[in-house]
């Protein structure tokens, strides 16, 4: 009914006041929207709501670790994964997530065949987070890479000894204790000897 009445109305002369009213109304709607958005931003900053602050630290770490897993098999994703891991290390340096990200970075480099880079990554973890949950594994992996991949038996012995000295009572310290006397020997030489029931 309203539309029919409008359609049958005679054309009205141009009146600038008619244009300014809707424009004023639109301006006020926009102003209210910006004001509401501004309030939301301030509220988010004040309350620290998760939705406003982006991914949580745990989500950032999980995304970086997932990217590292993909990059282990796809060299085109290596830079992206490295950047994500370094971002976690930098942004969360005072949390356990930083040592986890460092470990993931060292593992990624090892999987990609950058053994010197992997050793440097594990050593960086040890230097920055010597008491972290990943420290014993980092020290053990340094020894393993020296022995199995680089054939540097003296460096491997020192690294295994560091696991024993710095992480006593851990499973990896016990493993290092068993491996240390046999560094440089073919595994079949000492594994068979240990398994021999006639051996003392």
Q: What is the pLDDT of residues 91-141, one digit of tens each?
A: 999 999 999 999 999 999 999 999 999 999 999 999 999 999 999 999 999
Write out the two tokens for 178: 């068993």
**Residue 88 domain-assigned (yes or no):** yes
Instruction: Give burial (CB, 10 Å; 0-12/13-18/19+) of 93.
Output: middle
Using pLDDT thresholds of 50, 70 and 90, give the confidence band for residue 173: very high
Q: How many CB atoms are closer than 10 A to CB 27?
A: 11
Residue 200 is assigned to a structural domain of this protein: no
Number of domains in the chain: 2
The backbone torsions φ and ψ at residue 113, rounded to the nearest 5 degrees and listed phi first, read: 90, 5
Whether residues 66 and 46 fall in one domain: no
pLDDT band for position 188 (cuts 50, 70, 90): confident
| Structural domain includes residue 199 | no
Quick check: is 182 in a domain?
A: yes
Q: Give the Cα separation of 117 and 85 in Å (integer).
A: 15
Whether the Cβ atoms of residue 61 and residue 101 lie closer than 8 Å to each other:
yes
Helices (H), the chain: 2-8, 16-47, 50-53, 57-71, 78-91, 96-111, 115-128, 135-144, 153-166, 171-179, 187-195
- How many other CB atoms are there within 10 angstroms of residue 94's CB atom? 7
Please give the residue range of the domain that contains residue 133: 55-193
* Confidence at residue 186, expressed as pLDDT on a 0 to 100 scale: 84
pLDDT of 196 reads: 52
Q: Are residues 9 and 31 in the same domain?
A: yes
Residue 187: pLDDT band with limits 50, 70, 90:
confident
Cα–Cα distance measured from residue 104 to residue 110, given in angstroms and rounded to the nearest whole number: 10
Rounded Cα gap, residues 104 and 86, in angstroms: 10
Average pLDDT over residues 38-67: 69
Average pLDDT, the chain: 81
The single residue listed with the structure tokens 């040592």 is 99
Asked if 78 and 36 sit in the same domain, the reply is no
Percent share of the chain, pLDDT over 70: 68
Greater pLDDT, 12 or 75: 75
Task: Report the pLDDT value the prediction gives residue 22, as an integer from 0 to 100.
Answer: 46
Cα 77 to its chain centre, rounded Å, is 14
Model confidence at 45: pLDDT above 80? no
Same domain, 143 and 91: yes
Please check whether residue 59 is in contact with residue 97, taking contact to mean a CB–CB distance below 8 angstroms: no
For the chain, the distance separating the N- and C-terminal CA atoms, rounded to the nearest angstrom, is 106
Query: Is the domain of 127 the same as that of 46?
Result: no
């Amino acid at each position: 009914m309203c539309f029919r009445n409008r359609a049958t109305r005679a054309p009205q002369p141009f009146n600038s006041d008619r244009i300014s009213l809707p424009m004023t109304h639109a301006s006020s709607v926009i102003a209210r929207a910006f004001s509401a958005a501004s309030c939301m931003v301030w509220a988010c900053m004040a309350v620290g709501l998760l939705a406003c602050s982006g991914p949580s630290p745990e989500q950032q770490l999980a995304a970086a670790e997932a990217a590292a897993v993909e990059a282990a098999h796809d060299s085109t994703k290596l830079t992206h994964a490295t950047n994500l891991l370094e971002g976690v290390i930098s942004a969360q340096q005072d949390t356990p997530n930083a040592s986890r990200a460092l470990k993931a970075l060292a593992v990624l480099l090892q999987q990609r065949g950058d053994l010197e880079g992997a050793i440097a990554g594990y050593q960086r973890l040890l230097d920055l987070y010597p008491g972290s949950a990943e420290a014993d594994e980092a020290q053990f992996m340094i020894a393993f890479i020296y022995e199995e991949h680089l054939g540097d038996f003296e460096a491997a012995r020192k690294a295994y000894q560091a696991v024993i000295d710095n992480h006593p009572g851990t499973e990896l310290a016990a493993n290092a204790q068993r491996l240390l006397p046999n560094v440089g020997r073919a595994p079949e030489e000492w594994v068979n000897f240990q398994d021999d029931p006639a051996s003392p």
